[in-house]
Amino acid sequence: MMRIASGVLVVAAAATPKPLTTTEYHGCRSVFVQPKTNDDGTPANTSTVRLDHTAALAPTGIELGPTSSGIFIPCNDPSKLFVDVATNDDSVVWMAFG
Is 0.85 topped by the overall pTM?
Answer: yes
Closest by CA position to 91, among listed 16, 37, 53: 37
Closest by CA position to 83, among listed 51, 54, 57: 51
Q: What is the pLDDT of residues 4-63, one digit of tens each?
A: 999 999 999 998 999 999 998 888 999 999 999 999 999 999 999 999 998 876 667 899
* pLDDT (0 to 100) of residue 26: 84
φ and ψ at 18, to 5 degrees?
Answer: -125, 145
The domain over range 4-97 is classified in CATH as 2.60.120: yes
CA dihedral for 58, 59, 61, 62, sign (positive or negative): positive
Enumerate the β-bridge partners of residue 19.
Answer: 82
Asked if 47 contacts 66 with a C-beta cutoff of 8 angstroms, the reply is yes
